Amino acid sequence: MLSLSFRLTSLPIMKRQRPKPTPIPPPTPPLSTTKPRSQTHHNPTKKPKPINPPKSKWVSLNLTQSELSLPLTFPTGQTFRWKQTGPLQYTGVVDSHLVSLTHLQNGDVSYCLHHTTTSETSARSALLGFLNVGISLSEIWEVFSASDRRFAELACHLGGARVLRQDPLECLIQFLCSSNNNIKRITKMVDFVSSLGTYLGTVEGLQFHQFPSLDQLASVSEDQLRQAGFGYRAKYIIGTVSALQSKPGGGEEWLASLRNMDLQEVIDALSTLPGVGPKVAACIALFSLDQHHAIPVDTHVWQIATRDLLPELAGVRLTPKLCSRVSEAFVSKYGKYAGWAQTLLFIAELPSQKALLPAHFWSTKEKKSTKTKNG
């Protein structure tokens, strides 16, 4: 286990806010549940009969924008299955529920349930779990900001960047696709894999599927994946699916059981799967397995670390041993929710988010970084 020299004291569960009067919600996106005939071959299993709400409507989640910013959470590299279907509106699938999320004019978050195979109550519960609402973002950020002036400054401009709690299998396959890849290609691959699952409907011209089960994933061959543009990742996906199918009790159950283990045990277990290295394992651990202090270390995080946490390593080449040192530095500074802190710092490095920050902020930081390297 990584040493934790700074720990957060017990943090209270986020309190539900009283519903506030809200402006008229945005129009409900149109939903089509008729799948194009050309795609029926992707789903050989019998489709469950959908249970659609009698009348689609927008319902408050009792979440403010400071607790959940959709643009800072969904298109920033945690998941590649949610699509923008309108201004400040994103649509995706949680379990078997097809849902849209949007910000109202006052910033509060509401949702529209388009399709479910169970009930509206189950859908809302699954959505809240997926959004990790048991953790108060404002409270852990307050602790981070008290000990890190730079974090406090970023938080003023990038509030609501939340860590999701995804289905482990879904998260695993997505990050196998992400290896040495760009967002456009990752999304295309994830869309192909998703099409193997049960079709749930179309919103704003975009089709949505329940993420495929292991059996459905096993129905595609390595050659088919290579023809779809997966390249060398095809063998890793096929190998991982096979490895999971051989797990006693089932692969999906095995993945879920990792939520009860220590971080290093989780990393070691995931790294036995084909194509899963330390970075991919840390992503899966943080975004789906309740390992809130997992730190996925790539070149961006390395730059953050050498600029703000380990300046003595500026200019040094990143190695696996140094990845561990970076993780330890983040945990030492931010404690048991270090992965949440790292997520905001990573998002702040994205070109699309830098545009939201004052110009003087980055010019000052970049000059400081250059001075450190040259000094």
Out of 279, 354, 367, 373, the active site residue is 279
DSSP state letter for 74? S
Who contacts 48 (Cβ-Cβ below 8 Å, separation ≥6)? 96, 117, 198
Residue type, 339: G
Per-residue burial over 124-146, b = 16 or more CB atoms within 10 Å of its CB, e = otherwise: bebbbebbbbebebebbbebbbe
Token pair of 151 as six digits? 């974090």
d(CA 307, CA 321): 18
Residue 284: which region, alpha, beta or left (left: phi > 0; alpha: psi -120 to 50)?
A: alpha
- Angstrom distances, CA of residue 214 to CA of 173, 197, 219, 306, 355: 11, 10, 9, 40, 41
Residue 31: DSSP 8-state? E
How far the first Cα of the chain sits from its last, in Å, is 34
Q: Does 354 qualify as catalytic in the annotation?
A: no
Tell which phi-psi region holds residue 275, choosing left (phi > 0), alpha (psi between -120 and 50) or beta.
Answer: left
DSSP assignment of 104-148 equals -TTS-EEEEEEEBSS-HHHHHHHHHHHTTTTS-HHHHHHHHHHH-
Task: Find out whether 247 and 241 touch, Cβ atoms under 8 Å.
Answer: no
Contact 264, 1 (CB under 8 A): yes
What six digits make up the tokens of 36?
A: 């194009």
Angstrom distance (rounded) from CA 103 to CA 64: 9
The CA-based angle 234-239-241, given to 5 degrees, is: 100
CA 84 to the chain's CA centroid:
15
Grouping H, G, I as helix, E, B as strand and the rest as coil, residue 67 is coil
Residues labelled catalytic: 279
